[in-house]
Structure 1
Amino acid sequence: MPMLEVENLSVVYGGIRAVRNLSFHVNEGEVVTILGANGAGKSSTMNAVMGLAPSDPSSSIRFNGTAVEKLPTEKISKLGMTLTPEGRRVFPQLTVEENLRMGAISLGRRGSAAELKESAFTRFPILAQRRTQFAGTLSGGEQQQLAIARSLMSAPRLLLLDEPSLGLAPQVVEFIFDLLKQLSEEGVTILLVEQNVDQALAIADRGYVLASGELQLEGKATDLRASSGIERAYLGLGAV
């Protein structure tokens, strides 16, 4: 049974259908990436999975066998799924350490907040140096590291990341993808939305390509890297 199983997902905003009848799954231990151009429906998909966007009544979202499509976000988090959203969205008037504590609110019995905080400081040495600094004064790359570290504070079984490399310097992008590869090797299951196709497919096991809210292509990452279908989807040329 997949860890995450999404069937017939549709997301509508004010009459605009952002996602249409999308089905996909993520197996335990996998890195799965969702690819597509701006407006393809990637973020809407992630938000719907986390209960942050309304899904159509016919949609089915199951996490470890539990139906979550009608659950509030905080209950989904307590089940062991967490999202690092696009645009980082740290708490700017809280310190780095306080932001990390906020991430542990849904931890429950999955681990020790103190141990997870020290693990975060080990993974992200710059955050250890900035632990008493207000998050709003960090650079963009530092804020992105804080956003991911905050997500890891909940000891997630499934880590969702929405555009983690967006707007970052190349060396920070390299650091983040190295981190994601390391997390995968440690057994963390990852669902990744990313416009950096080469970087995403380099660490992913499988991928799904969206265009205009619909699934256009799916397969093993190695096969997708060799496919011309991704380019067609990004250029908005319809079915691939």
Structure 2
Amino acid sequence: MAVIRTDNWLEECKGDPSKVCAKLINYFTSASSSDIHHHLTTFGMYKTAKQGRELTKKLQEKNAWGMLSDEIGRLRSKWKGPSVPIFIFPSDSNNSVLIRQFKGKSGLAYADKLFLFISPHNTETEMKALLTHEYNHVCRLNKFPKRGEEYTLLDTIILEGLAEAAVAERFGKDSTSSWTSLYSDKQLARLWKDFVNPNKHHVKESATHEKVLYGLGNCPHMTGYAVGYYLVQNFLRAKDLHVADLFTLSSSEIGQLS
């Protein structure tokens, strides 16, 4: 199983997000269609039937579903990754933060499925880069399995760093997220020392994990994400490896050069 033709769902449901999300119930445990839609909108999914109808048509004109179906075949072969359902939906065209900071696209990955929220304004390379990032998560989650509640800050930033390193490896640095270029190496080393390393064992559900990961309060913007990319790139250069070589390595091993 790979790319699900959610464009057919969207047409059948006339863009109604509650009806579309009803088709996802079997992919979640004990969740209603409204629960699923609420959850997915927090990650960038469109919100109204009108958005769904209009944006789906534009994405079909760009052959988004066909193009990304071809692309996942290349990624699975390259990384020897699992076959998981991939759900593509329009992103929320009214989300100013999503548009300003993430070029109107976002994603959500699990070990057994992934979601892509894309805009008709995204280029083919941007869509492929998003798929690369999210499917890299799927591969890491399967090849280095660890229960979600056991994930620490270090695990999370390595997960994110690997995914953006994969984008850089396939499409070049210019295609990576803006947070990969926020700080110099000297600044990143300081962020590791001051914010990440002292808190690296905080688990995913903790306030400290979120504060450092996203850069909240007195913590600089996107600290965890930026440091994760820095650690992964340091390890790749020092060991002369490729991203796929790191899937099974522990987070502490990848971050050891820091």
TM over 0.5, shorter chain: no
Which protein has the bigger strand share?
1
Which protein has the bigger helix share?
2
Larger Rg belongs to: 2
Q: Structure 1 length as normaliser, TM-score?
A: 0.30
Q: Structure 2 length as normaliser, TM-score?
A: 0.28
Tell me: higher relative CO, structure 1 or 2? Use CA pairs within 8 A at least 6 residues apart. Answer: 1
